[in-house]
Structures are given as structure tokens and as C-alpha cells.
């Protein structure tokens, strides 16, 4: 086949004249974005500054997202969800984070780390009983993997679960850094937590991790402490959770024994995609702020946007913003929720976007000078929030290692 034969097939002309917006691939996606953006402007933006300042989580605002169907965005409709795809998930996270990344993180912990996990890995009974509650906002969920002595090294976690004679499980251990782990200032624990625990070793002597649904009121489940003085994401609650002879009924084991790694691998991909989308929201907002400011501000009788060094900050930020936007929505379009197999790009997109967002936020502060350095102008908050995205959901070092591992297994990925 030569080039003329390809042209005759008409494929090269298929998109001619049409504007293709990778971030809004369908009319429904564009409508979702517009609905969320309007809601964010009306309800999220006015509270963002104060909640960050006082390290307060806006629980009522999160619950209210259930009315719009956003809390179960990827959960099946039959259980109260909206049944939407990975692109829709990315859109919601981008829009929330452009205003309030701390609040967006609380949403992510609920909608992605808990609800999406249950929707794709829970059994029918668990889904029928719990999904309607978490999709409506009656219950707020969390996911507990990290521990005081084990983060990146997941197989090093020590929280244990031992089955009792009556079939119930007894959990012992502590979980650290759990977003939504506590819901308020009085130590009320998350209504339901997706907990990873050690249940022994398999036939080959490898650590066996299993997944449990722990619900508020189960004996032995409590908040150890709410963690204060975080650099950023101060509008979300981060807590240590304690499981002290915590009794969990047999029916709250998710999947079979030793299946946690499957749950983790599958859910980490959408977690990383949506954390990248949060980075995009931060990058977009910071670029918008610095671009407007550079027009309004004059120095030496010129708009500061006429200075070459300011142009470098804005020009480089635009290119980074557009690059991450394309990579995020390309990854989302290729991601099938509930199916693992997108690790290379879910790691790649978070690796690139988290650092790009931090750099754009840093440029925004620099362009805005002293004003950029104080809270009222937003970008210093976004700069602090952006740092978490290089750590949570996998550190940038872990993404680099995973990418190199995957490219070793499949070198042809580079040429596809």
C-alpha cells in the first residue's frame, strides 16, 4: 500500500474541518464539565480559602454532591451510581481541583478509593447493601493501605486479620495518612473503610493480603488522631486509624483471601489518573491567575507580560498545561474502569502532571511577586496542595520504577 491508497480510503479526511477536543470527547462530557464548573463556582470557590486556613473539611458540601450523582460517578446505575467512564472521572477531579484541591482530594478518597473499588471488586451483596449509601452521601468512605512503617513498600504492611471460630475476622494494626479517616474535629471515624490486611502467607511463602470492609460502630475501630499542620490539602481530613481487636463479620471480606493485590492494581490506575487530573486543575487555575495578573500589573511603565523573563514563566506553563491535558485525556480514553492493564500510562501521566502542576504553581507565585505569596491570591495554596500529588497515590520515584519495569517487559510500548 502506498500513501495515495491510504488517502483514497478517506481516513485521513475523516476529521478534516472538525474541532476535536480531547478533554470533552462527547457532548455528555462537555455538559458534565459545564455542570460541575458552575457548581464549583457557586459552592466550592467561596469556601476554599477559609477551609484551608482553618484546616477544616467541609463534610456537608461533600455529602451534597450525592444529590448531583457525583459521589457514585463510576458506580453502576442499579446501585445509585451514574455509571460513567474514566474521562468523566477525570473531568470532575480537574474541575474541583481548579478551585479547591483539598476538597477534591476528599472527593477522590470517597468516590475513587472507596466507591469505585467496591463497584468493581465487591460482590453483589456488598454492592447492594453499601453502594446506595455511599452514592447518596449518607455514608462517607475511605481507603486504608498506608501504615506508619509501610507506604511504598506495600507488602511490608503489618495490620493483620485472623479468622475466629465463629467465622468473624479480628483485625489488629494502625493505618496512617488516611484521607476521610476522620470526618470532623471530634474524631468521628469514616462511615466505612476499605482496609488492606495481612492474612498469612500463600503456598510459596509470599505475604497474603486481603481486603475488608470496616464500618463505623464495629468494635475496636477508631480514630487514633487527626493529622494537623500538613503542608497542603488542609481542607481534607487526614487521620491515623486504629484497629484494636476489631471484629469484622465474615461477609465483609472482599473477594477471596489474598486478592488485595488485584484490587489494588486495578484501582490504583484510576486513582493515579484522577490525581493527575487534580494536577491539571491546579495547573489551569495557576496559569489563568498569572496570565491575568501579568496584564494588570505594570512596572517600569510596562505591563509585566512584556518582560521576557515573565514570558518564559507564562509560555513554559502553557506548554506544560497543554501537554498534561493531552496526556491525561488520552490515558482516560484508553482506560477501561475495573480492568487493570494501563499501569504504564497511569504512572506516566501522574509522574508528569504532578511535577508540572507544582512548577506552574511556582511560576504563578513568581509572576505575581509578593501578592502571589499570600493566601488571598490563591496560588500559594495551590502550590502547597500540588506537592502532595508527588507523594500520595504513589511517589514520583515509584512511578519511575514502574515505568522502567514495564518498558523492560514490553519494549515495543515505545514504538506503538
Element holding 325 (H helix, E strand): helix 308-334
Which 227-266 positions form the footprint of ligand FAD (CB under 6 A)?
Answer: 230, 233, 238
Nearer Cβ to ligand FAD, position 152 or 164? 152
- Which has the closest alpha carbon to 246: 190, 195, 207? 195
Query: Is there binding between residue 159 and ligand FAD (CB under 6 A)?
Result: no
CB of 389 to ligand FAD, least distance (A): 10
> Which one from 271, 289, 359, 380 is the annotated catalytic residue?
271
CB of 245 to ligand FAD, least distance (A): 22
Nearer Cβ to ligand FAD, position 77 or 153? 153
Which residues partner with 142 through β-bridges? 193
Which of residues 209, 293, 392, 399 is near ligand FAD by CB under 6 A?
Answer: 392
* Contact (CB, 8 A) for 167 and 173: no
185 is known as an active-site residue? no
What distances in angstroms separate CA 37 from CA 23, 34, 59, 99, 213, one per listed residue?
14, 5, 20, 9, 33
DSSP-assigned letters across all residues of 364-404:
HHHHHHHHHTSGGGSHHHHHHHHHHTTTTTS-HHHHHHHHH
Q: Which of 127-135, 302-310, 374-382, 394-402 is the region at the interface with ligand FAD (rule: CB under 6 A)?
A: 394-402
Q: Which of 14-22, 37-45, 143-151, 303-311 is the region at the interface with ligand FAD (rule: CB under 6 A)?
A: 143-151
Q: Which of 8-16, 48-56, 136-144, 334-342 is the region at the interface with ligand FAD (rule: CB under 6 A)?
A: 136-144
Q: Which residues of 99-123 are buried (b: 16+ CB within 10 A; e: fewer)?
A: bbbbbbbbbbbbbbbbbbbbbbbbe
DSSP-assigned letters across all residues of 156-211:
G---EEEE-TTS-EEEEEEEEEEETSB-STT-PBPSEEEEEEEEEE-TTS-EEEEE
Nearer Cβ to ligand FAD, position 81 or 394? 394
Query: Is there binding between residue 143 and ligand FAD (CB under 6 A)?
Result: yes
Which of residues 179, 252, 331, 354 is near ligand FAD by CB under 6 A?
Answer: 179
Query: Is there binding between residue 190 and ligand FAD (CB under 6 A)?
Result: no
Query: Is there binding between residue 111 and ligand FAD (CB under 6 A)?
Result: no
Nearer Cβ to ligand FAD, position 66 or 392? 392
Query: Is there binding between residue 398 and ligand FAD (CB under 6 A)?
Result: yes
Which of residues 37, 395, 403, 406 is near ligand FAD by CB under 6 A?
Answer: 395
Here the cell at position 327 is 496526556
Three-state secondary structure call for residue 303: strand
Nearer Cβ to ligand FAD, position 259 or 316? 259
Residues present in the chain in total: 416
Residue corresponding to grid cell 481530613 = 237
Catalytic (active-site) positions:
271
Residues of the shown chain interacting with ligand FAD in the complex, contacts defined by CB under 6 A: 109, 113, 142-146, 151-153, 177-179, 230, 233, 238, 388, 391-395, 397-398, 401
Amino acid at each position: 500500500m502506498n500513501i495515495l491508497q491510504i488517502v483514497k480510503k478517506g481516513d485521513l479526511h475523516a476529521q478534516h474541518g472538525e474541532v476535536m477536543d480531547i478533554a470533552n470527547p462527547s457532548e455528555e462530557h462537555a455538559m458534565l464539565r459545564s455542570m460541575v464548573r458552575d457548581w464549583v463556582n457557586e459552592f466550592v470557590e467561596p469556601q476554599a480559602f477559609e477551609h484551608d486556613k482553618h484546616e477544616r473539611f467541609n463534610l456537608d458540601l461533600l455529602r451534597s454532591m450525592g444529590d448531583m450523582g457525583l459521589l457514585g460517578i463510576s458506580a453502576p446505575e442499579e446501585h445509585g451510581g451514574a455509571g460513567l467512564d474514566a474521562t468523566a472521572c477525570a473531568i470532575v477531579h480537574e474541575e474541583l481541583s481548579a478551585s479547591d484541591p483539598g476538597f477534591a482530594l476528599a472527593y477522590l478518597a470517597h468516590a475513587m478509593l472507596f466507591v469505585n473499588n467496591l463497584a468493581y471488586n465487591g460482590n453483589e451483596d456488598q454492592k447492594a447493601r453499601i453502594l446506595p449509601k455511599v452514592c447518596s452521601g449518607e455514608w462517607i468512605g475511605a481507603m486504608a493501605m498506608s501504615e506508619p512503617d509501610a507506604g511504598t513498600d506495600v507488602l511490608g504492611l503489618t495490620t493483620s486479620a485472623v479468622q475466629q471460630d465463629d467465622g468473624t475476622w479480628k483485625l489488629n494494626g494502625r493505618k496512617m495518612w488516611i484521607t476521610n479517616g476522620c470526618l470532623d474535629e471530634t474524631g468521628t471515624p469514616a462511615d466505612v473503610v476499605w482496609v488492606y490486611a495481612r492474612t498469612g502467607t500463600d503456598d510459596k511463602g509470599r505475604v497474603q493480603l486481603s481486603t475488608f470492609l470496616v464500618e463505623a460502630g464495629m468494635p475496636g475501630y477508631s480514630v487514633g488522631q487527626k493529622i494537623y499542620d500538613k503542608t497542603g490539602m488542609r481542607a481534607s481530613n487526614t487521620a491515623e486509624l486504629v484497629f484494636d481487636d476489631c471484629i469484622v463479620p465474615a461477609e465483609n471480606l472482599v473477594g477471596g483471601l489474598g486478592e488485595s493485590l488485584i484490587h489494588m492494581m486495578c484501582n490504583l490506575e484510576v486513582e493515579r489518573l484522577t490525581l493527575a487530573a487534580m494536577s491539571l486543575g491546579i495547573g489551569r487555575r495557576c496559569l489563568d491567575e498569572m496570565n491575568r495578573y501579568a496584564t494588570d500589573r505594570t512596572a517600569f511603565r510596562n505591563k509585566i507580560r512584556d518582560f521576557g523573563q515573565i514570558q518564559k514563566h507564562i509560555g513554559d506553563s502553557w506548554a506544560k498545561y497543554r501537554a498534561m491535558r493531552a496526556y491525561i485525556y488520552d490515558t482516560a480514553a484508553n482506560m477501561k474502569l475495573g480492568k487493570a492493564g494501563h499501569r504504564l500510562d497511569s504512572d506516566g501521566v501522574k509522574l508528569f502532571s504532578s511535577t508540572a502542576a507544582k512548577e506552574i504553581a511556582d511560576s504563578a507565585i513568581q509572576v505575581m511577586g509578593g501578592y502571589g505569596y499570600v493566601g488571598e491570591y490563591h496560588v500559594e495554596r495551590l502550590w502547597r496542595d500540588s506537592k502532595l500529588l508527588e507523594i500520595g497515590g504513589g511517589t514520583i520515584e515509584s512511578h519511575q520504577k514502574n515505568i522502567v519495569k514495564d518498558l523492560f517487559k514490553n519494549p515495543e510500548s515505545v514504538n506503538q
